[in-house]
């Protein structure tokens, strides 16, 4: 009863009032438990009504390659009616025609009116779930899902030769990301100090392994620090964090795993203890297949076997797992388009 009153308070109150009015005419009363029972059934009916109305959404984060994919996976589990047209940085999202989506979901503040988007964290807390649910209910009747966004990669309605070229682009993107993948063990002497200083020292230690040059490393570091200020990059339920950004100074996509000698505290209150950092960097301008491959890797951080492999730090085993999962990802795109 406590959970029903908390999670479905408005519906419970409406049904309690209606029940009292109906039963009062007969000189009878209805127990609270019976109102709770009705609330569950009416709540389920409302959920079915919502699920039957598809909503086209695009999801936005600072880079479009990390937290947005993690968040979309969580949302799809809780709200099957939400159909994502893509994952974007705000620069990309602002150029998507308005008639191609019904909703913007963002992990960061956007320079538009608050009623045009909903901001939630990649963790999708209970409060944020309720916030998104309320936002969805206030939307006008959703359009039927139509043509895919022009920025989304598509293998539909193309010749066999065109499909082969697109598959080659995805395969090349996978090779470009995985071929130079490496695991590093670093020590930043960050334990026991202030959280901000420890984070800065850890990123400095990471940057020294990249050999990008002082100016580029300074720019990338600034972006990573700014990203953490917007919301913790720690992955809930793990000892792992995903540091990710896109920059005009980064020439090629880069994926690295760092095993920390000392735990790093992240989050507003330092509640997250991080022992591994997965670093994901990409150029500002990157192909759609590459963007999807990087996003798919970030989504794997919700898979327990992958998280366990990262904790072990075996580079070859990690690369093998990624190659198998990404091969399945490409094959699923192929099969999905062949049947159309």
Say whether 292 sits in a helix, a strand or coil. Answer: helix
- CATH class assigned to 160-338: alpha beta
Q: Which tokens sit at 153? A: 């990669």
- For 171, 199, 209, 269, 279, the CA distances from 196, given in Å and listed in that order, are 39, 5, 21, 11, 18
**Rounded to whole angstroms, how far apart are CA atoms 114 and 158?**
39
pLDDT of residue 336: 52
User: Does domain 55-138 sit in CATH 3.40.50?
Assistant: yes
Closest CA to 175 of 279, 296, 298, 290: 290
The list of the chain residues with pLDDT below 70 reads 48-53, 63-64, 66, 91, 140-159, 189-193, 268-270, 334-340
Cα pseudo-dihedral 23, 26, 29, 30, rounded to 10: -40
Per-residue model confidence as pLDDT tens digits over 100-136:
888 899 887 787 777 778 888 877 888 888 888 888 8
Burial class (CB in 10 A: 0-12, 13-18, 19+), 156: exposed
Residues 6+ apart with CB under 8 A from 135: 103, 118
CA distance 192 to 318: 31
Distances (CA, A) of 227 to 63, 93, 201, 234, 252: 9, 18, 16, 12, 20
Model pLDDT, residue 178: 95
Could you tell me the residue ranges of all domains in the chain?
2-51, 55-138, 160-338
Query: Residue 36 — φ and ψ, nearest 5°?
Result: -60, -40
Find where tokens 């076997």 sit. Answer: 305
Instruction: State which H helix or E strand residue 88 sits in.
Output: strand 82-88
Q: Of 275, 206, 204, 205, nearest to 235 (Cα)?
A: 275
- Nearest CA to 306 out of 265, 278, 264, 269 is that of 278
- Quote the pLDDT of residue 18: 92
Give the contacts of 128 (CB within 8 A, at least 6 positions apart): 120, 121
Model pLDDT for residues 165-189, shown as the tens digit of each residue: 888 999 999 999 999 999 999 987 6
Residue of 76, 83, 96, 60 lying closest to 246 (CA atoms): 60
């Amino acid at each position: 009863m406590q959970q029903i009153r908390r999670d479905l308070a408005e519906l419970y109150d409406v049904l309690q009032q209606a029940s009292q009015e109906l039963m009062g005419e007969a000189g009878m009363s209805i127990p609270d438990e019976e109102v709770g029972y009705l609330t569950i059934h009416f709540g389920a009916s409302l959920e079915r009504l919502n699920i039957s109305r598809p909503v086209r959404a695009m999801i936005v984060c600072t880079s479009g390659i990390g937290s947005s994919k993690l968040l979309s996976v969580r949302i799809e589990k809780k709200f099957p009616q939400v159909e994502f047209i893509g994952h974007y940085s705000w620069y990309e999202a602002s150029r998507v025609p308005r008639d191609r989506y019904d909703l913007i979901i963002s992990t960061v503040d956007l320079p538009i009116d608050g009623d045009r988007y909903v901001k939630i964290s990649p963790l999708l807390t209970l409060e944020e779930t309720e916030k998104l649910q309320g936002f969805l209910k206030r939307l006008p009747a959703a359009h039927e899902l139509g043509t895919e966004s022009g920025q989304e990669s598509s293998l539909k309605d193309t010749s066999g030769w065109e499909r082969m070229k697109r598959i080659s682009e995805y395969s090349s993107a996978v090779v470009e990301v995985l071929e130079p993948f490496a695991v590093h063990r670093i020590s930043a002497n960050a334990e026991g100090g202030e959280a901000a200083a420890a984070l800065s020292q850890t990123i400095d230690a990471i940057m020294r392994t990249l050999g990008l040059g002082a100016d580029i490393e300074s720019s990338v570091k600034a972006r990573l620090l700014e990203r953490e200020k917007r919301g913790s990059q720690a992955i809930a339920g793990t000892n792992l964090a995903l540091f990710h950004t896109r920059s005009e100074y980064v020439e090629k996509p880069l994926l690295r795993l760092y095993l920390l000698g000392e735990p790093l505290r992240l989050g507003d209150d330092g509640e997250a203890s991080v022992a591994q950092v997965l670093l994901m960097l990409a150029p500002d301008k990157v192909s759609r297949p590459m963007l999807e491959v990087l996003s798919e890797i970030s989504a794997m951080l919700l898979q327990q076997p992958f998280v366990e492999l990262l904790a072990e730090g075996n580079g070859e085993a990690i690369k093998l797992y990624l190659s198998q999962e990404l091969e399945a990802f490409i094959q699923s795109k192929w099969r999905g388009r062949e049947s159309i």
